[in-house]
Amino acid sequence: MGSLYRNRKYWMFSYYQVNGKQTTISLGDLGTLTNKRKKDIKRDLEVRYESKSLNKRSGIKLDYLVEDYLEIKTKEVTRGQRSINTLNSDKNHLKRFTNYVKDKFGRLNIDEINRKILMSYMDYRFEVDKCNNTTISNNVRGIQGFFRYCLEENHIEINPTSNLKIPQPLKRTIDDIPGKTEFNKIKKYLNNYVKDYLNGDSEYNWVNIISWIQIRTGMRNGEVLTMKWNQNKKTDVGEGHSLSFVYLNNPISKLVIHFKKRRREIPIKKDIKDVLSKIKKDENSKVYVFENNIKERKTTGKKFNNTSFSRPFKSLLNEIGITENYTSHTLRHGFITDLLRQDKSIYRIGRFVGHSTSRITEVYGHLISKDLEDLIY
């Protein structure tokens, strides 16, 4: 029989051999374990030890470690060190992978996952799930993060994802860019709404205002949703992890966006300042500009997310008379393309929207070429 116990941060497993010699291994930081999970882990370790297959870097199931890894990442979200979207993406990637392994190979230990299994998983995603290279690449990168954690916590000796040949993401093209007429139609509708809102002739509609800010600034939908009235200087530093911090300065004259070590500023024009000032005065939002409980005039500081925006955005497009399957990112595409059609500098556009010039050329290059053809012919 063995014993499972916690030594400060790490969980340990001790087992006495027949000759009386005690063997102890570290299982790493598994977080808080329920009694059921402790019993399951202990039983698995005892079975492996009795079969003489236990060593210092093995003995714990893949699905256990995935749960622990996601628990740690969830805590990072709570501390403001990781975005909820990244966490949900990691959950999705690892759930698919663990389900595949369990269905095809059974409940494997972490040290039993090898390069061959990973390659077979990529083949499965490509051939059975009909995923493209971009989807598979994103999936594998999420799995790589998990195995880096396992290596750091001493659960594995060799990272099976190291030097793994990942399919190259597809070169991005834009399928959901609105035509010039459509984009002008959206702009006209939203400009009229904002005019009525400022005059008191239309009620507050957060989806309309967010969409309007996007077509005025080219901001990403997630950037507008996470926009704060003020910077929290303790947490909103934008360095060291992948979170994006968006906040207004006081008094309102510019918007600051931090992403990792990058920073960009968006000047606030008078019409945007007027809208933001009215929101602050009338809607009682305290932390984020757009908070999901302001109808009740209560303040908990909770923001909207991309999912909560999608459905009402579709309704907005239907009301405008746009039937194409556009997303909120369509507005950003339209903003950038509109500037390109006005022959604005690619370098200046890139700095303003947070893209490199090469990225703009890659994504919007076919549009630039098409416009040049129109000029020639």
CA distance 354 to 189: 27
Structure tokens belonging to residue 95: 């759930």
Q: Are 197 and 204 in contact (CB under 8 A)?
A: yes
In which band, very low, low, confident or very high, does the pLDDT at 17 lie, cut at 50, 70 and 90? low
- Percent of the chain exceeding pLDDT 90 equals 20
pLDDT in tens, 286-329: 788 888 764 544 545 677 777 788 889 999 999 999 888 788 88
pLDDT band at 376 (very low <50, low <70, confident <90, very high): very low
pLDDT (average), residues 352-361:
69
Amino acid at 187: K
d(CA 76, CA 340): 39
pLDDT of amino acid 234: 61
Tokens of 275: 């809208």
Instruction: Give the integer Cα–Cα distance in Å for 35 and 37.
Output: 5
Confidence class for position 259, pLDDT limits 50, 70, 90:
low
Mean pLDDT of the chain, nearest integer: 78
Sign, CA dihedral 53-56-62-63, equals positive
d(CA 2, CA 13): 7
Cα torsion for 51, 56, 59, 61, to the nearest 10°?
-160
Q: For the segment 177-193, what is each residue's pLDDT rounded down to a tens digit?
A: 777 888 889 999 999 99
Mean pLDDT of 65-76: 87
* pLDDT the model gives residue 212: 94
Kindly tell me if the per-residue pLDDT of 63 is higher than 70: yes
372 against 70, higher pLDDT: 70
Structure confidence at residue 5 (pLDDT): 83
Distance CA 207, CA 202 (A): 13
Q: What is the pLDDT of residue 208?
A: 94
Is 115 in contact with 18 (CB distance < 8 Å)? Answer: no
CB 163 within 8 A of CB 115: no
Per the listing, tokens 């400009």 go with: 191
Handedness of CA 17, 20, 24, 30 (dihedral sign): positive
For the cut 90, the answer to whether the pLDDT of residue 146 exceeds it is yes
